[in-house]
Every structure is written in C-alpha cells, then in structure tokens.
C-alpha cells in the first residue's frame, strides 16, 4: 500500500512558495472557524524514520495559534495509567471541542513496533487494532475530525535521507527523534504498519499516505489534505446542525402523535414488570442481613485492595428510588481510602467539550479501589433519549459505546456492577409527597422529578431497551425491587459483595 508514496514526488521551491502563502492563510482561517465548532480535530502523524514527522509537527505548530493546538507524545505509562484500562491514558489526552490535538504516533506506535519486533502476536495485534478502531469510531461518530498521516520513504530513500541528515548534526538530532517510536528493521516495520493501516481505516477515520522524501512536496501535501478536510468537515457539521434543528422541530410535532398512539395499544410486558415488587424484609431480618453483608463486604474489599482488583459500580434507578441511601449503606463498613463516590450532575464545560464518555473515564479509580457512580453513563440512553436531548442515532449507538467501555473495564480485570433500583409509580408518588412535606427533604424534590414522572412509560421503554442491549456476561444488569428500602439496601450490598467475591475467586490478576 505504500507504492504511491515511493514515486519520487517532488515540488520546486518556486512552486511551494506559490501555494505556501495561500495554504497558511487558509489554515489560520480554518483554525479560527474551528474555535466555534462543536468538535475537536485529531491529527496523527506517524511514519518511517527520516520521513519528516517532526518537521511536519513543527510546521503545524509554527503556523497555527498555539493556544488551540496541543501536541501529545505518549511516554512510558505512569502507574496511575497502568492501574486503569489501557485506553484511559488516551481518553485523558483528548483535545476539547474547538481545538486541535496533534499526536506523534498516538495509539499506533506501541502495537506496530511491538508486532514488528516480534514481541506481539498477530492475535494480540489484531485485538489492539480492533480496540483502536472502536475508539476512533466512537470519537468520529460524535463529530470528531480524525486525520491520520503516514509519512513514507522507500528503504533506499530512507538510507539516503539518514546519511544526508548526519551531515548536519542539528537536523540529524531532529530526524533521529524517534522517541515516540522504536526504529526497527525496515521491512518488518513497514509490513506491520501496512497491516495496521489497512485495519484501522474507515470512512470517517482515513489514513493519508504521503511521500516524505521531498520537503516541499510533503509539506504541501499534508497541509493541503488538512485544509481540505477541515473545511469540508466544518461545512458538514454546520449543515448537520441545521438539518438537526429542522428535524427536531418536526419530530417534536410527530412525537405527540406517537405517544397518543401508544396509549391506545395494549400494555406491553416489559422487563421491570417481571420483578416481584412485594419483596420486603422485616426489621429483624434486615438487621441480621445488613450486619452479615457489611462484614462480608468489608473483608472482600480488603482482599480486593490487596489484589489490586478494582470495582466500578453504576447505580441507577427512578427518582426517589433510594440510590443515595443505598450508597451510604454500601460504604458503611468500607475503609474510606478504598472507595470514592462520584455523583453525576450536570457536566462542567470541560466535560461538555469532550465525548460524553470522557467524564466517566476521567473518574475511574486506581487499582484496588471501588468507584461508585451515583447515576452513570446510562444517562445517555435514559434521560438523554427520553428528553430528546440527542437524536436517535446518538442514543442508538450509545449502547455499543457503553458495551465497549464496559468490556474494556472487564478485560482489564475490573468488576463492573450495574444496578437499577425499581419502585412502583405509586410508591414514587408517596415518596415525592413525603419529600415535599418534610422541610429538610424538600431540596431532594425538583421540577424535573415531576416532569420525569410524567414520562414514566417512555422511561420504561428506555429501561427495557437498555437492559436488553447492555446486560452482558461481564457486566450484567441487576434489577432490584426497591419499594421496601430494607430489602433494596441489603440487595445492593449483597449484589456488590457477590460480584467482588466472584472476581476474587476467578481472577488471579495483580496489576
């Protein structure tokens, strides 16, 4: 696949000077437009040694406003990085909307080099590429512009280039800056790269293969491609926003029709309807079970901490289902250093400027800790879906994105515990009334709660879809009848304890 980049492309100084000014101006203008856009641009520069990766990086940094472009080179992972799934470090590096993230090698460097040096099997290499593809796809679907450049040299040109670089010690220093990669045998390296490139392209995450032997030609190519695609993407996103506004209007009119229609249909039996809502517990049984489960969880978490086994708990449920109370009981006998509660409220603007999963990746705890999300990434397919905050495409692909996220957690060895606290509509009303009359509970009840309640049926549909699409072996859903608070609290405790225990028994992993 590199044949097109071994044709000896050149460009005279005169020709380059001619396009140079226009290109530079264009890029500066586009960067200004990007500032106001709702997506980030990710540029990946990778290639064979001597092909001008660092030169391209420097050129982009010279031409553009440094405030809105950031360069990332991945270094040896820190222990904070090693104590989370591999992609944590990539997520944390992502540029916010309106800016450009410039990567040397990015997530390609390690797998290509390792495979080329025979230190990574084809199966492991394939798996890496699959993950990378999923990652880039997730970002691109949310609007990110991803442009990947492979700067190429034939083996012969590379030899010449390296020799001529040696003559100038300074250029030599730069050309030999392969700190983001590991030089290796040319054929093995380019073979591995070719395989990686082939298997990590799709319509939205293309690779551009650019011949690197001639400075002018290489620079003009990269900059032209960048300018063209950035311009096109800006236009496409603007158009999309416009279409979306129109569609939203239209849909909100249609919606009322659909809702009316649904009410006429015979009631559907959904997964929550199968729960035994009479489940309850006497005070005495509760006292004993609570006590037993606390001791058990205390011991299990102690072991998990020693073993470096992390747990990620996502607690969801109806408004007033008792999530807060359940979490406080869950952490009652745990050591304060071992857990962290992450309440999910409105995102900050830094969070808003990233993919919606970014804020959850951000909060994952280190090895051996339990991270408890009070509401979670499932907001995407619950409130955001029901309230029409995003369009159907977005929440529909949300299931796959969430499965991918949880799979990464599970494959890293983390325990994933997802629970839905279910109360009946009648019980919710009782609790709302209680909240509205007891002075110190009033803050717990908001207009939103009443509004959500009106959409109970739509939420039931969303919950049904959520369970059917995201309950997996590695990360199953636990639906917990919660009309009786005692029963719900003990069940939450027991569910978490069971999950941790199972993982301790089956995993031997010590990260």
Residues that bind a second copy (CB under 8 A): 21, 24-25, 28, 31-32, 54, 57-58, 61-63, 65-68, 70-71, 73, 75, 78-80, 83, 104, 169-170, 173-174, 177, 179-180, 291, 294-295, 298, 324, 327-328, 332-333, 335-338, 340-341, 343, 345, 348-350, 366, 374, 439-440, 442-444
Q: Which is nearer to a second copy, 25 or 474 (CB)?
A: 25
Please state the closest distance from residue 275 (CB atom) to a second copy, in A.
26
Q: Which is nearer to a second copy, 21 or 267 (CB)?
A: 21
Q: Which is nearer to a second copy, 67 or 269 (CB)?
A: 67
Q: Which is nearer to a second copy, 129 or 226 (CB)?
A: 226
325 class by beta-carbon count within 10 Å (0-12 exposed, 13-18 middle, 19+ buried): middle
177 class by beta-carbon count within 10 Å (0-12 exposed, 13-18 middle, 19+ buried): middle
Q: Which residues contact 57 (CB under 8 A, 6 or more apart)?
A: 45, 71, 102, 104
On whether the CB atoms of residues 480 and 491 are closer than 8 A, the answer is: yes
CA dihedral 85, 86, 87, 92 (to 10 degrees): 90
**DSSP letter assigned to residue 168:** S
Please state the closest distance from residue 42 (CB atom) to a second copy, in A.
17
Please state the closest distance from residue 389 (CB atom) to a second copy, in A.
19
Please state the closest distance from residue 366 (CB atom) to a second copy, in A.
7
Distances (CA, A) of 370 to 99, 213, 404, 491, 504: 34, 52, 20, 18, 14
Please state the closest distance from residue 155 (CB atom) to a second copy, in A.
24
Please state the closest distance from residue 344 (CB atom) to a second copy, in A.
8
The DSSP secondary structure of 267-310, one letter per residue, reads PPP-GGGGS-TT----HHHHHHHHHHHHHHHHHHHHHHHHHT--
Distances (CA, A) of 281 to 287, 353, 377, 510: 10, 46, 31, 38
Q: Which is nearer to a second copy, 266 or 336 (CB)?
A: 336
Please state the closest distance from residue 76 (CB atom) to a second copy, in A.
9
Q: Which is nearer to a second copy, 129 or 492 (CB)?
A: 492
Nearest-angstrom CA–CA distance, 341 and 323? 12
Q: Which is nearer to a second copy, 207 or 339 (CB)?
A: 339
């Amino acid at each position: 696949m590199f044949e097109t980049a071994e044709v000896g492309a050149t460009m005279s100084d005169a020709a380059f000077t001619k396009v140079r000014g226009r290109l530079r101006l264009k890029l500066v203008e586009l960067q200004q437009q990007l500032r106001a856009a709702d997506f980030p641009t990710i540029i990946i520069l990778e290639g064979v040694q001597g092909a001008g990766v660092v030169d391209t990086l420097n050129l982009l940094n010279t031409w553009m406003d440094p405030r809105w472009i950031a360069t990332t080179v991945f270094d040896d992972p820190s222990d904070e990085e090693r104590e989370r799934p591999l992609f944590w470090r990539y997520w944390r590096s992502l540029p916010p909307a309106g800016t450009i993230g410039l990567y040397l090698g990015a997530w390609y460097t390690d797998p290509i080099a390792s495979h080329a040096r025979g230190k990574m099997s084809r199966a492991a290499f394939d798996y890496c590429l699959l993950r990378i593809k999923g990652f880039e796809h997730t970002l691109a679907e949310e609007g990110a512009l991803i442009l990947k450049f492979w700067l190429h040299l034939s083996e012969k040109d590379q030899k010449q280039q390296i020799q001529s670089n040696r003559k100038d010690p300074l250029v030599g220093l730069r050309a030999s800056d392969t700190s983001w990669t590991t030089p290796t045998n040319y054929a093995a390296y380019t073979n591995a790269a070719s395989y990686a490139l082939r298997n990590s392209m799709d319509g939205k995450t293309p690779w551009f293969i650019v011949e690197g032997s001639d400075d002018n030609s290489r620079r003009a190519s990269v900059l032209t491609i960048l300018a063209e695609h950035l311009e096109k993407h800006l236009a496409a996103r603007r158009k999309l926003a416009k279409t979306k506004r129109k569609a939203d209007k239209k849909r909100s009119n249609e919606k009322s029709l659909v809702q009316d229609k649904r009410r006429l249909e015979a009631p559907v039996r959904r997964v929550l309807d199968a729960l035994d809502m009479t489940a309850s517990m006497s005070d005495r049984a509760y006292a004993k079970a609570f006590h037993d489960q606390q001791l058990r969880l205390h011991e299990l978490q102690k072991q998990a901490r020693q073993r470096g086994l992390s747990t990620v708990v996502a607690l969801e449920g109806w408004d007033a289902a008792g999530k807060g109370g359940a979490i406080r009981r869950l952490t009652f006998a745990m050591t304060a250093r071992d857990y962290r509660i992450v309440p999910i409220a409105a995102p900050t603007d830094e969070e808003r400027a990233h993919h919606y999963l970014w804020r959850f990746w951000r909060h994952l705890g280190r090895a051996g800790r339990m991270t408890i999300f009070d509401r979670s990434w499932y907001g995407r397919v619950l409130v955001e879906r029901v309230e029409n905050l995003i369009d159907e495409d977005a929440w529909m692909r949300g299931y796959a994105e969430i499965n991918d996220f949880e799979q990464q957690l599970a494959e890293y060895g983390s325990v994933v515990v997802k629970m839905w606290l279910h109360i009946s509509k009648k019980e919710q009303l009782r609790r709302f009334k209680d909240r509205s009359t007891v002075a110190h509970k009033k803050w717990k009840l908001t207009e939103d709660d009443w509004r959500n309640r009106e959409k109970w049926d739509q939420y039931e549909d969303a919950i049904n879809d959520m369970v059917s699409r995201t309950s997996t072996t590695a990360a199953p859903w636990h639906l917990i009848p919660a009309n009786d608070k005692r029963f719900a609290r003990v069940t939450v405790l027991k569910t978490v304890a069971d999950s941790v225990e199972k993982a301790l028994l089956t995993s031997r992993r010590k990260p």
